[in-house]
Amino acid sequence: MNVRQNKLVSLAALGLVGGLALSACGGSDAGESGGSDAGGAASGGYAELTGNLAGSGASSAQNAQTAWSESFMGLTQAEGGDLTVTYDPTGSGTGREQFLSGQVQFAGTDAALDEEELASSAEVCNDSQAFDLPIYISPIAVVFNIEGVDSLNLTPEVIAGIFAGDITNWNDPAIAESNPDADLPDLDIVPVHRSDDSGTTENFTEYLSENAPDAWTHGPVETWPIDGGQSGDGTSGMISTVEGGNGTIGYADASQAGNLGTAAIQVGEEFVEYSADAAAKAVDVSPREEGREENDIVVELDRTTTEEGVYPIVLVSYLALCGSYADSAQGEAVKAYASYIVSSEGQQAAAEAAGSAPISDELSSEAQTAIDAITVG
Amino acid sequence: MSTADTAPEKERSAPDTMSSGGRRAGDSVFSVLSIGSGLLIFVTLAAVAIFLTTESIPAITASREFSGTAEFSLVEYTLPLVFGTVLASAIALLIAIPVSVGIALFISHFAPRRMASGLGYMIDLLAAVPSVVYGLWGGVWLVPKLEPLYVFLNTYFGWIPLFAGEPTAPMRNLASASVVLAVMVLPIITAVSREVFLQTPRLQEEAALALGATRWETIRTVVLPFGRGGVVAASMLGLGRALGETMAVLMILAPGATFSLHILEVGRHNSIAANIASKSAEASGVDMSLLIFTGLVLFVLTFVINAIARWIVARSGPKS
C-alpha cells in the first residue's frame, strides 16, 4: 500500500518536473531532452524510446521486475517516450529457452547461461554472444517461531542437522551450545520446507551442503529431497506454515519474514544477522566464475567465507542480455532498461518493492560498462 | 454430446413439416448456430485431449517404464498423486453427502416456503465463492480451529488407521483439505438434490401420509427412493469438482507422496491438480511433460467417474 502510494507520488512528481522543464524550454527544442531527467537515472534520452520490450524468466525476481518495468515506463512516459516493458515469470529454464529462441529480448534467470547456451546465442544475438549481469540479490533468512524465544544463534551444522531431521528437539545440547543466554524449551522441532521447486531451496541447500557436508548429505537441490514433513507453497505458504505452528523453523526471502524471529548464522567466529549490506557483501567477496568473457559477470558465491559481516545465504538472480541487437529501437530500449535496473535508483526501487539487497556501487558500474558495450543496429 | 447428434436429424426432417412455406432464413441460421455450438464442444474437448496426449509423450517415452533406464518412473510419480486425489475427494464426499441431503430435505419438505427460498439462495451463493477464497479461509482460519479436534481424534481414536500417526501443528493435512473440499461441493450436491426431492410425485407423498406414515416415514419410503438416482448424480458432480480442485488444496495441504492412510499426518498426500499448480511455474522440458501426463491421468479419471455416475443414474432411473 505504502510503496504503491510512494510510487504514484514519485510518478506524479516526475510528470510535474517534466512538464515544467518542457514549458521552460519554450520554443527551442534543441537537444535538451535528457536535461529534464529529475531522477538522475544512468542515461537520459528516454523520449526516443518506443515499442515493446518483452522479458521472461525467474519468478524469484518477479516483484523487482514489476517495480522496474513500472517505474521505467513511468520515466519514459514522463519524457514523452512510448515504451512497454513486460516480464513474464515463466521460470528460469523457460526464460532462457525463450531468450535463446528470440521470443523475448531479455531473460531473468537464477542460474547464469551455461557454455552451451552462450555458444548458441550468436544466432539470435546478431552474431554476438549473450552475457549475464547480477541484478537481484535476495538474502534468505532462517525464520523460526518458538514461544518465548526471540533470537537464536545457529551454526551451519545445527541448521543442517535440523533440516535433515537429526536434531529433533529445541533443547538439544548442540543448539544450547551456541545460545548460552536463551531459555530453550523442551519442544519438538518442526522443520518446514518449500513444497514447490524453488531457487530459494536450491540456494539454501547449497549453503548447507558446502558448510556442513556431513550433516547435509542431499547436496544442493531445487526440489526438497526428504519425504514428508511440514511444507508450504511459495514464500507466503512457507511463512504462514511457520507462523501456524510452535517450534517451527523454515527459510524464506528475508523481506517476507514479517514478525517471525530470524536466526543469526555463524560465519567464521561470529554470528551474523541478515541485512541488505551483509547480503550484498556476500556477492562482493565472492570470486567471478572463471572462463567467462569480461562483460559476462557471473559470481561463484563463496558460501564458506569467514569474512566479517558477510551473510552467505543469498540468492542471486541474473539478467541475460544480447551483446548486440539487430533492431536498433529495441536495442536502445534494452540498454536504457538494463541501465536503469543496475543504477542505484533501480536497485533502490527493487529493495523497496521486493526487499532485495542493492548491488554495490562497484558492481553497478561494472555492469553499466558491460551494458554500454552493447552494439545496436 | 446429444445436441450434435440430434441437430442434423431435425434439419433433415424440417422440409417435411414446413413443406408449404419452404425454409425461412431464421431457421437455417439457427440450425447452423446450434450445430456449430454442438460441434464446438467436441472440438474443444478433442483439442484438450490431443494437447494432453502429445505433450505428455516425451515424459512417457523417457520414463523408466519405456526406456528402462531413466531415473524417474511414471507409475511411482503418478500413483501417489492419484491416491491422494481420490482419498481427499472421497472423504470430502463422505462429509458432504449426508449434510447436503439433510439441507436439501429441509428446504424441500420442512422449511416454511419463504425461508426455503432464502436458504436455497444462500446455498447457491456458496457455490459462487471462488476456490481461492475457500483456500484462504481454510488455511488461515479453519486449520487452527480444527487442531483440537484432530488431537482428540488422534488421542482417543488413534486405533482407527485413518486417525493414527503423529499430527503436528499447523494441521495442513489431508483431513483439513477434505473438510474445505466438502464445504465447496456442498452447494452443488444440495442444489441438485433439492430439485430432485421437489420432483417427488405429490400423490405418492399424500398417499403415504394418508396411510398413517409420519413425516420421516414419508421421506424414507417415498422421497429418498425417488431421489436416489438424483443424489448419486449430484454427488458425482460434486466429486468432479473435488477431484479437480486446485487452489484450495494447494493453499491448505503440505504435500508429500505416499500411500499413507493417516489423514491427520502432515506431508503425506498431494492432489494431481495442486501438484501441477505448484510445480509448473519452474518446470520445463521433461518435467513439464511429466506434469502434463498427470493432467492427462486426471482428465481420464474424471471421465471414468462421470461414466460410472451415468451408469448408476441410468440403472436406478427406471425404478422411480
- The predicted structure's pLDDT at residue A44: 60
Q: For the domain B73-316, what is the CATH code?
A: 1.10.3720.10
Contact A311, A265 (CB under 8 A): yes
Chain A residues with CB inside 8 Å of B258's CB?
A: 227-228
Kindly report which listed range (A135-149, B57-71, B189-203) carries the lowest average pLDDT score. B57-71
Note the pLDDT tens digit of each residue in A194-243.
988 888 999 999 999 999 999 999 999 988 998 888 998 888 889 989 99
- The predicted structure's pLDDT at residue B22: 59
**A interface mutation test: which of B262, B264, B279, B282 has the most A CBs within 10 A?**
B282
Q: Burial, B294: exposed, middle or buried (Cβ in 10 Å; 0-12, 13-18, 19+)?
A: buried
Chain A's closest residue to B288, CA to CA, is: A94
- The predicted structure's pLDDT at residue B64: 83
pLDDT confidence tier of residue A34, bands split at 50, 70 and 90: very low
Contact B252, B139 (CB under 8 A): yes
Chain B residues with CB inside 8 Å of A231's CB?
A: 172, 254-256, 267
Query: Is it the case that residue B2 has pLDDT exceeding 50?
Result: no
Q: Considering CB atoms only, which of A197, A198, A228 is closest to B267? A: A228
Chain B within 8 Å of A231 (Cβ-Cβ)?
yes
- The predicted structure's pLDDT at residue B6: 47
Query: Is it the case that residue A37 has pLDDT exceeding 80?
Result: no
- The predicted structure's pLDDT at residue A163: 95
- The predicted structure's pLDDT at residue B21: 53
As a residue count, chain A comes to 377
Chain B within 8 Å of A258 (Cβ-Cβ)?
no
Query: Is it the case that residue A14 has pLDDT exceeding 50?
Result: no
Instruction: Name the residue ranges covered by the structural domains of chain B.
Output: 1-72, 73-316
Q: State the residue for C-alpha cell 516480464.
A: A87
| Percent above pLDDT 70 for chain B | 91
Amino acid, res. A301: L
Chain B within 8 Å of A91 (Cβ-Cβ)?
yes
> Is there a common fold for A3-138+316-376 and A139-280?
yes
Q: Burial, B155: exposed, middle or buried (Cβ in 10 Å; 0-12, 13-18, 19+)?
A: exposed
Query: Is it the case that residue B89 has pLDDT exceeding 80?
Result: yes
Q: Considering CB atoms only, which of A94, A188, A233 is closest to B278? A: A233
Residue B278 to chain A, least CA–CA distance (Å): 5
Contact B251 A245 (CB under 8 A): no
| Cα separation, A250 vs A146, whole angstroms | 12
- Contacts (Cβ under 8 Å, ≥6 apart) of B89: B181, B239, B242, B243
The CATH number of domain A139-280, selected from 1.20.1250.20, 3.40.50.300, 3.40.190.10, 3.30.390.30: 3.40.190.10
Chain B residues with CB inside 8 Å of A56's CB?
A: none
| Strand, helix or coil for residue B259 | coil
Instruction: Name the residue ranges covered by the structural domains of chain A.
Output: 3-138+316-376, 139-280
The β-bridge partners of A134 are A318
Estimate the crossing angle of helix B2-17 against helix B25-62, to 10 degrees.
160
Residue B59 to chain A, least CA–CA distance (Å): 17
Query: Is it the case that residue A79 has pLDDT exceeding 80?
Result: yes
Query: Is it the case that residue B153 has pLDDT exceeding 90?
Result: yes
Domain at A3-138+316-376, CATH homologous superfamily? Periplasmic binding protein-like II (3.40.190.10)
pTM: 0.78
DSSP structure class, residue B167: -
Contact B256 A91 (CB under 8 A): no
Contact B254 A195 (CB under 8 A): yes
Q: Considering CB atoms only, which of A92, A230, A240 is closest to B282? A: A92
